[in-house]
Amino acid sequence: MKRVGVQAQRTVENVTPVDTGTLRRGWTLSSGGLMAVTLSNGVEYAPFIENGHRTRGGGGWVPGHFMLRDSIKAVESQLGSLITPQFQKVLEGML
What is the C-alpha to C-alpha distance for residues 32 and 82, in angstroms, rounded to an integer?
A: 18
In this prediction the pTM is: 0.81
The H or E element spanning position 56 is none
Distance of CA 36 to the CA centre of its chain: 13
Average pLDDT, the chain: 90
Q: Judge whether 53 and 1 are in contact, CB under 8 Å.
A: no
13-50 residue pLDDT tens: 999 999 999 999 999 999 877 788 999 999 999 999 99
